[in-house]
Structure 1
Amino acid sequence: MTTVDRGTGRSTRGQWQQRGEQVWPPSSLLGGLPPASRDRLLALGALTRYPADRVLMREAEQTDFVLILLDGVVKVTGRTHDNREALLAVRMGGDLVGELAAMDGRPRSATVTTCGPVAARAVTRGDFLDCTRRDPHTAQAVSESIVTKLRVANSHRIDFTGCDVPTRLARVLHQIAVTYGEPAGRGAVIRWPITQPELATLSGAAEPTVHKALRGLRTRGVVSTGYRTIRVQDLALLRDIAFS
């Protein structure tokens, strides 16, 4: 992950947890762990590198390993009742994926696919559960990570019934920018490919409606889009649109 604020040129290492050359946002599992617990967790499993568009876990399959994401972006998708693919979430370096199946031994609840090159540590269920039993900091961090994901999911359900599409889109972009964006002046840059159909599924709206809402944000100077990137020009303004 980048360690320089591209808006100011200043180092952002003080805001991110790091191990060697790797840094993770403080809101992520790895970024929030104490150094000793983080090193203990990162000693598990094997370092594995995956190319873009590789399915790492598939919905309904009976596997129970865990992936500790070190670098890169993955998308989490599920199948709707009419067999469409819906984007449920995105995860980046510092996050954990696959923990639900490891915790309860049930089939995978979603499909996880790389959005570009990804580095991760692949950890068996036994080693993962043993680590959480032995290290209370890790156990607490995993629990908090699961709770955070549930809160976001609940918030999305509420948004779908109580907000218009521009507000829902603003909330989705704000959450992604705050959690995963690179700081850039008053805003942040999302440096991974998220398509308008994927933004539509995250916002719970039709693609043409999201396209219109995104165009409105661009016209107001809140966001700009480029090749494989979305730049939030002013996070405070986006927050006001999302939550006012």
Structure 2
Amino acid sequence: MDGDARREANGRRPGEVRDWPPSSLLGGLGPADRDLLLALGTRVRYPPDKVLMREADRTDFVLILLDGLVKVTGHADDDRDALLAVRMGGDVVGEFAAVDGQPRSATVTTCGPVLAQSVTRADFLACTRDEPRISHAVNRTVVAKLRSATTHRVNFTGCDAATRLARVLHHLVMTYGERAGEGAVIRWPITQPELAGLAAASEPSVQKALRRFRDLGAVTTGYRSIRVDSLSRLSDIAFGDR
């Protein structure tokens, strides 16, 4: 691993339980299977804005996220870095390259401090081969990612840029946001270019839509931050015509 990543002694934390979402890999496993998985590899802390995996690289280790957030980006044809997804504690990243041995399909970068378990490809594959419940859980998370990508494409069909952005924001706050009264807060840095990439929109279109959302009392924007003041208003913008 990179020299500036600080390793913690021993990877295993028997009986460790965090507030992992049930839909995540770790949140969906029982205590015994979770302990087996977390006994693999090495625990590593990463600083903010650290590239953990780079698109097209031939590395094949897997990272099981324990705490913090990472963003997954891909290099678009117009030379932009498009934000593809966000992953949080409980999720796994890098499993595609571990399974098929192909180059990395995307770049993974930390959004703030991240604690993860780094597992070699050999150990990861051996575990999924020998432990059927863990293998099933990994397969379930892969399918969930593919379903999410399909839903993302379907939801965008025939929508204008403002509606696409509203649906992106709604998904982000419902999945990764911290509820606060009638709204929610995204407590990790996200830029307008990244929002534009997720919404398949131009930056001027995103800026115009955000001004409209602010005028409607749906969101408040700051430097690399977004607060949803009213989830109901944002939902109306995103899905009101359904």
For 1:25 and 1:224, how far apart are their aligned partners in 2?
26
Q: Secondary structure at the match of 1:121?
A: strand
Q: Secondary structure at the match of 2:19?
A: strand
Match of 1:224?
220
The structure 2 residue matched to 1:184, chosen from 165, 174, 180, is 180
Counterpart contact for 2:217–2:233, Cα < 8 Å: no
Task: Give the number of aligned pairs.
Answer: 226
Q: Secondary structure at the match of 1:32?
A: coil
Assess, with a 3 A threshold, how the Cα gap between structure 1 residues 124 and 114 changes in structure 2: closer, same or farther.
Answer: same
Report whether the alignment pairs 1:101 with 2:97: yes
For 2:209 and 2:37, how far apart are their aligned partners in 1?
42
Counterpart contact for 2:191–2:225, Cα < 8 Å: no
Q: Secondary structure at the match of 2:112?
A: coil
Unaligned runs of 5+ in 2: 1-14
Aligned-CA RMSD value: 1.8
Higher deviation after alignment, 154-163 or 40-49: 154-163
Within 5 Å, give how 1:80-229 maps onto structure 2: 80-229=76-225
Counterpart contact for 1:25–1:180, Cα < 8 Å: no
For 1:237 and 1:136, how far apart are their aligned partners in 2?
44
Assess, with a 3 A threshold, how the Cα gap between structure 1 residues 37 and 239 changes in structure 2: closer, same or farther.
Answer: farther
Q: How far 1:227 sits from its partner (Å)?
A: 4.6
Assess, with a 3 A threshold, how the Cα gap between structure 1 residues 136 and 168 changes in structure 2: closer, same or farther.
Answer: same
Report whether the alignment pairs 1:78 with 2:74: yes
Counterpart contact for 1:73–1:93, Cα < 8 Å: yes
TM-score by length of 2: 0.86
For 2:23 and 2:50, how far apart are their aligned partners in 1?
26
TM-score by length of 1: 0.86
Match of 1:19?
16
Match of 1:8?
none
For 1:123 and 1:67, how far apart are their aligned partners in 2?
6
Between the aligned residues of both structures, percent identity stands at: 68
Q: Secondary structure at the match of 1:19?
A: coil
For 1:197 and 1:152, how far apart are their aligned partners in 2?
21
Higher deviation after alignment, 226-235 or 188-197: 226-235
For 1:175 and 1:115, how far apart are their aligned partners in 2?
18
For 1:148 and 1:243, how far apart are their aligned partners in 2?
22
Unaligned runs of 5+ in 1: 1-17
Counterpart contact for 2:177–2:186, Cα < 8 Å: yes
